[in-house]
Structure 1
Amino acid sequence: MTRDIADRDIEAALADPSAFFAQPQDIVTHPRLSREVKLKLLRQWEQDARELSVAEGEGMGGGEESMLGRVHLALRKVEGAAGA
């Protein structure tokens, strides 16, 4: 479930995007976030997903669908929106 994000929550969301958004796509489609904030959130989520991917590679993960792939898809959508 995606939480409605107020301006004061952006800093907290930047620290842990998955606490505020269920999926990276929820950031892409959020109507109140600027492109800049969307990119920051997705890049943080990407970093978190990379760290999880490394942990899974070392046998510490849980086998869910790759979050890193979902984050990359969302990043491409937001980055491509600048040219639209």
Structure 2
Amino acid sequence: MDIEMAMLDPDSAFTSPDDVFAEQSLTREQKIKILRRWEYDARELEVAEEENMGGGPPNKLDEILKFLHRLDAEIDVDHSPPTKQGGE
């Protein structure tokens, strides 16, 4: 698996967020980073859909957030931008 590519484009390396969570070769931090990227992409899709530019893959945001929670990934609300995408 190309971890760098997975961190840039999780959809290219994994079928679902569950696959990231189950991947034994990844550290907890790597899983969180990949899921955070996937979260950002999912939020971008939501914004596009709100602006009638949908047509992308099904949104996996709920599933992504579930696995981030299971990894105890905290959200830094003090340093998060006030956008729908959440920022990175």
Unmatched 5+ stretches in structure 2: 74-88
Alpha carbons of 1:71 and 1:35: their partners in 2 closer, same or farther (altered >3 Å)? same
* Identity value in percent: 45
Q: 2:53 aligns with which of 41, 55, 60?
A: 60
What is the CA–CA distance in structure 1 between the aligned matches of 2:27 and 2:42, rounded to whole Å? 22
Q: CA deviation at 1:30?
A: 0.8
What residue in structure 1 maps to residue 33 of structure 2?
Answer: 40
Counterpart amino acid of 1:32? Answer: S
What is the CA–CA distance in structure 2 between the aligned matches of 1:59 and 1:21, rounded to whole Å? 27
User: Residue 27 of structure 1 contacts residue 42 of structure 1 at CA under 8 Å; is this kept in 2?
Assistant: yes
Higher helix share: 1
Counterpart amino acid of 1:18? Answer: D
Aligned residue pairs, count: 73
Q: Cα RMSD over matched residues? A: 1.8
Listed as ranges, the matches of 1:1-84 within 5 Å are 5=1, 9-62=2-55, 65-79=58-72
What is the CA–CA distance in structure 2 between the aligned matches of 1:65 and 1:18, rounded to whole Å? 11
Unmatched 5+ stretches in structure 1: none
